[in-house]
Chains A and B, each alone.
Chain A
Amino acid sequence: AQKVTQAQTEISVVEKEDVTLDCVYETRDTTYYLFWYKQPPSGELVFLIRRNSFDEQNEISGRYSWNFQKSTSSFNFTITASQVVDSAVYFCALSVKSQGAQKLVFGQGTRLTINP
């Protein structure tokens, strides 16, 4: 099966705490891409990061960082010093080959609430 699991349905933390959102994936492809999207309360989907399967370097962008580990099939997302504006639903996604085309398979999403 090719799927993405975000086991944390909801997370609630106090502002300035660090928080990690877990993402575990399954795929039979040797080349694949992983993505994170943010969905704020307004509802749109905001692209955060793309990572290909050959690049296991961790990535940092401001308060955001991503830890990709092929050995555990995980692509976790950490927000450092969280802020109220980080409150959103976060989706992890995996690109898979299906019926001759590629598509995105999304995890269930993690609803993150940052309390002031």
Chain B
Amino acid sequence: EAQVTQNPRYLITVTGKKLTVTCSQNMNHEYMSWYRQDPGLGLRQIYYSMNVEVTDKGDVPEGYKVSRKEKRNFPLILESPSPNQTSLYFCASSLGPAGGYNEQFFGPGTRLTVL
């Protein structure tokens, strides 16, 4: 089954404790991205990757890191989480750049709470 998986689905952590949210897709998609969803703001792009070893900042990259060492995986790293990073996070992948004719496939979401 074609899918995007994220782990963990729920995470409660404390300020400053490094964490990684994993994202994996099995569709051989080149393009992957991370979004965060906050009430009243919709989804905003954090980082995206157009292929292996090619990543770039989205609209709200501060406090986040990503890596793309393999085509299928695109982990999101919070080196020193803060309470303002409490949010719902979505990973997405598509055959080509997001938008255009390339439908984005979204993961199930990761709800992160930073105390």
Contact = CB atoms under 8 A, between A and B. Distances in A.
| Chain A bound to chain B | yes
Interface of A: 4, 6, 9, 32-33, 35, 43-45, 47, 50, 52, 91, 93-96, 99, 101-104, 106-109
Given A43-B88, A44-B108, 11 more contacts: A6-B42, A9-B40, A33-B99, A33-B100, A50-B103, A91-B43, A94-B99, A95-B99, A95-B100, A102-B98, A104-B99
B109 A43 contact: yes
Interface string B27-55: 00000010100001111110010100000
Size band of the interface chain B makes with A: 20 to 34
B103 A47 contact: yes
A43 B48 contact: no
Chain A contact residues: helix, strand, loop or mixed: strand
Which 8 pairs from chain A and chain B are nearest by CB?
Answer: A95-B99, A106-B42, A102-B97, A45-B106, A102-B99, A106-B43, A108-B42, A103-B98
A109 B42 contact: yes
A93 to B, nearest CB: 8
A99 B45 CA distance: 13
Contacts of B50: 101
B42 A103 contact: no
Contacts of A95: 98-100
A108 B99 contact: no
A106 B44 contact: yes
Given A45-B90, A47-B103, A101 B42 contact: no
A91 B42 contact: yes
Interface in B5-30: none
B108 A104 contact: no
